[in-house]
Amino acid sequence: MPSQNSDKGEAIQASGESNFKKAAKKAKKQVDNLLHVSLNIAVTGDSGAGKSTFINAIRGLEDDAQGAAKTGVTETTTEATPYQHPTMSNVTLWDLPGIGTPNFKAKTYLKDVKFDTYDFFMIISSERFRENDIMLAKQIQKKKKQFYFIRSKVDNDLRAEGSKISFSTEEMLSKIKTNCEENLKEIRNPKVFLISSKEFCAIDFEKLVDTLVSELPQHKQNALLQSVPVSSMAMLEKKVRMFEKAAWAAAFVSGAVAVAPVPGLSVACDAGILLAFFTRCYYSFGLDEKSLEKLSGRVDRPSLRVLIKSNLVLALAAESAARQEISALAGGAAVEYLCSLVPGAGSALAAVISFGLTHRLLQNGLKELANTARTVLREAGLQ
C-alpha cells in the first residue's frame, strides 16, 4: 500500500490538482484533447487559386498521391469535400467550392456549405482577393469565427521578377503583402499570409501556424500542431513541448496508478494509450517513411532514412500496420512490448502499478523520438 499511495501522490502532484478525482478528470480531458478532439478546416477560393494544393501540402501529400485533393485550372470542386489527414484522423480539411460559383451563390454561401461544420476558414487567392472573397470574410466575421487570407503561388511572382537586376526577394514579398492588405482595406486588420506552392513550408507558413495556435481554443491547438508538417527545428520543438505537457496525463490514464476505479477512468493498464502516444509523436515529428521521403526530396538529401538508429523509431515503423488497430492490443503484452522498446523501463508488472515508472517510460520514449527527429532536421539543413 505505501507504494500505491506514493504513486497516487506523485500522480496528483504531476497534475497540479489538489486531489485524485480532479487529477483524474484533468488527465482524461488532456488525453482526449491530444488524441480525439476534431479539427475541421475550411479552405475556399476561386478555381485555380491553389486550394487543393494547399490541402495536400498540409496533409503531407503530393498533388498526384493517392487520396490527394484534385488539382486543376478549372473548377474541380463542385461540393464541400472532406479530406482526412492521413495520420491524424481527427483532423479534416474541407475543399469548398469557390464563392459565387453557379451552385454556391454569395448570399447563401455559408448556409450552403454548412458553416457550423468548420472551426475556421482559409480564403485563398493566387492574385488579387476579389469582391466575393471580401463579402465572405465579412459574413464569417459577423458569425464570430476566425478567417485567414492565403496569398498562394508566391513562387510564381518571385520567378517572374527574379531576372531583374534590382530584384530583392524581401522587397517583392513586402510589396505583395502590402498590395493584398490594400486590396482588403474593407476588412479590419486582415490576416494575410504568403504561401509558395513549391516551397510550402517557406515564407509565412510558420507565422500562419503560430497565429492559428494562438487564436484557436486550447482544446483545438494540439490537433493543429500535431498535423502540420515539421518545417524547422523551431516547429519540432513546439511539438515536443506539447507532448511533454501531455506525458503525465497519458501515464495517468494508462492505468499506471493502481487505485480504486474512478467513474470515467479505467485503472486497468491500457497499453494502447501508451502506444498511441508514441505513435502520435512518431508521425507528428515526421519520422514515418513517407515524411522522410518527402523531406529527402525537398532538401535533395537521399540519406535521411539511414540516420534512423533508434530502436523505438524502427519498431514503430515495422509495426505501422498494427498501429491502425492500436486499441485492440492486449494490455499486458503491449506493456511488455513498450518496456522492451525503452531500455531501463523495468518489468511489465512494475509498469502496471507505478505511475512514476510509466511516466518515465513516456518521457524516455519521447526524448528518443525527439532526438532522432533533431538529427534528421540537422542533416536536412533545417536548423
Give the pTM: 0.85
- Write down the H helix ranges in the chain: 2-15, 20-35, 51-58, 109-112, 131-142, 154-161, 169-183, 205-215, 218-227, 233-251, 271-284, 289-299, 311-318, 331-341, 348-353, 355-380
Mean pLDDT within 375-379: 91
Name the residue with cell 502506444: 275
d(CA 275, CA 341): 11
| Torsion, Cα of 271, 229, 231, 150 (10° steps) | -150
- Strand, coil or helix: 126: coil
Could you tell me the pLDDT band of residue 265, with boundaries at 50, 70 and 90? very low
pLDDT averaged over every residue in the chain? 82
pLDDT digits (tens, 9 = 90+) for 145-167: 999 999 999 988 888 877 777 77
CATH topology of domain 39-227: Rossmann fold (3.40.50)
- 214 against 11, higher pLDDT: 214
pLDDT digits (tens, 9 = 90+) for 113-132: 899 999 999 999 998 898 88
Mean pLDDT lowest for which of 46-50, 159-163, 228-232?
Answer: 159-163
Contact 68, 51 (CB under 8 A): no
Bridge partners (DSSP) listed for residue 35: none
pLDDT digits (tens, 9 = 90+) for 305-350: 778 888 878 878 876 644 443 333 334 444 555 566 555 554 444 4
> In this predicted structure, what is the pLDDT of residue 188?
87
Q: Say if strands 91-95 and 81-84 run parallel, antiparallel, or are unpaired.
A: antiparallel
d(CA 260, CA 12): 14
Q: Say if strands 120-125 and 146-151 run parallel, antiparallel, or are unpaired.
A: parallel
Which residues fall within 8 angstroms of residue 121, CB to CB, at 6 or more apart? 42, 43, 44, 136, 140, 145, 146, 147, 148
> In this predicted structure, what is the pLDDT of residue 70?
81
In the chain, domain spans: 2-35+230-380, 39-227
Mean pLDDT lowest for which of 169-173, 230-234, 265-269?
Answer: 265-269
> In this predicted structure, what is the pLDDT of residue 336?
54
Q: Is the pLDDT of residue 74 over 60?
A: no
